[in-house]
Amino acid sequence: MVEQTLLPEQHEQLLVKTVPQMVDAIYRLAVRGAPAIGVAAAFGVLLGIQDQGGLERSAFIEHVHGVCDELATARPTAVNLFWALNRMRARMERDEAAGADVEALIGGLFEEAHGIYDSDRATCRRMGEIGAELISDGHSLLTHCNAGALATAGMGTALAPMYVAAEQGKTIHVFADETRPLLQGARITAWELMQADINVTLITDSMAARVMQEGKVDAVFVGSDRIAANGDVCNKIGTYGVALCAKAHDIPFYVVAPLSTIDPTLADGSLIPIEERPAAEITEGFGRRTAPEGVATYSPAFDVTPARLVTGLITEVGLIETPNTELIRDALARGHQDAT
């Protein structure tokens, strides 16, 4: 995978060979973005079962559950991590019930992991096509954090509509928030859009309200790490502020995320666990101290945007306008029907 912590200065490949290495890669954001984390977790299970074909069937099954438990500790907020691991467990349990031996169990897990990968690529494309319908020629857009190709196995979530719009010949411009404290917008989003020859302007997070006030933003597109059953959206810290500003200036605020990002077990966003990051990411980010020694810090990695601020959720089954519990339940049902 791409070692994202080194972008844009260095474009290096990270070779992950073991489960602890995959846990480390997810935790320290070498791989990040909810869909990409899900795919990485599924492939992490495959790493955990390599050279385990000689185990007895019951021991192999117990080993797989242990691998999934270990991978689940990597990050607490991105629901795709747990969704992918649950899919891997469920596949093994189905094959186990069908009487599969260890070799067949391994084959099933391999097939399931690659199915997750292939499905994410197709889903990204579909969301890009749906979202591009909301973008007109000449539009200026704003995005926060990074939800492009590096955050998925495909062309991205929030950036996918921009890529498709550009493919359609539309001339667009994008404001990319730098996204403190690890600057995913500055390091990754700006780099991705430049690679795609899309006109991008980098701004600090605190400038978003200003460019909206100046009438320079036609719509906001962001991704998500977890969406509650009522449509509350959890995304990178700072997203809530962007949504409030968009609402104040009557600018559409769109969230682009696959159905796998929706967590129907959580009634609303207040129940979403929010990861807190190490103090050093604020006080001495990228190795240079910028705050006094010993200063107290508070560093939640995510915030929650209430559904009332969301103009629409763009999913692979279509646009959910003004999302609520009933509309999201219907979308999940359509997604289940499509899958079967």
Q: Which of 225, 232, 263, 303 is catalytic?
A: 225
Give the number of domains in the chain.
Answer: 2
Regarding whether 319 and 218 lie in a shared domain, the answer is yes
Regarding whether 265 and 311 lie in a shared domain, the answer is yes
Q: Residue 327's CB: how many other CB atoms inside 10 A?
A: 17
Regarding whether 141 and 34 lie in a shared domain, the answer is no
Where among 103, 125, 147 does a domain terminate?
Answer: 125
- Determine the angle formed by the axes of helices 34-49 and 79-97, rounding to 10 degrees: 40
Regarding whether 28 and 99 lie in a shared domain, the answer is yes
Per-residue confidence (pLDDT) for residue 76, from 0 to 100: 85
Considering the entire predicted model, what is its pTM?
0.88
Active site residue 263: no
User: Cα separation of 338 and 317, whole Å?
Assistant: 9
**Are 297 and 259 a contacting pair, CB within 8 Å?**
no
The pLDDT tens digits of the residues spanning 160-212 come to 999 999 999 999 999 999 999 999 999 999 999 999 999 999 999 999 999 99
Regarding whether 120 and 163 lie in a shared domain, the answer is no
User: Cα separation of 274 and 221, whole Å?
Assistant: 22
The pLDDT tens digits of the residues spanning 175-187 come to 999 999 999 999 9
Regarding whether 182 and 93 lie in a shared domain, the answer is no
- Domain containing 79 equals 4-125
In the chain, what percentage of residues exceed pLDDT 70?
Answer: 100
Regarding whether 306 and 175 lie in a shared domain, the answer is yes
Regarding whether 149 and 41 lie in a shared domain, the answer is no
Regarding whether 305 and 278 lie in a shared domain, the answer is yes
Which SS3 state, helix, strand or coil, does residue 216 take?
A: coil
Regarding whether 241 and 99 lie in a shared domain, the answer is no
Tell me, what CATH number does 8's domain have?
A: 1.20.120.420
Tell me, what CATH number does 138's domain have?
A: 3.40.50.10470
Q: Would the CA dihedral through 62, 119, 234, 9 be positive or negative? A: positive
The pLDDT tens digits of the residues spanning 279-308 come to 999 999 998 999 999 999 999 999 999 999
pLDDT band at 77 (very low <50, low <70, confident <90, very high): confident
Per-residue confidence (pLDDT) for residue 151, from 0 to 100: 87
pLDDT band at 84 (very low <50, low <70, confident <90, very high): very high
The pLDDT tens digits of the residues spanning 97-133 come to 999 999 999 999 999 999 999 999 999 999 999 999 9
Regarding whether 282 and 179 lie in a shared domain, the answer is yes
User: Residue 54 above 80 pLDDT?
Assistant: yes
Question: What's the mean pLDDT when you consider all of the chain?
Answer: 95
The pLDDT tens digits of the residues spanning 300-332 come to 999 999 999 999 999 999 999 999 999 999 999
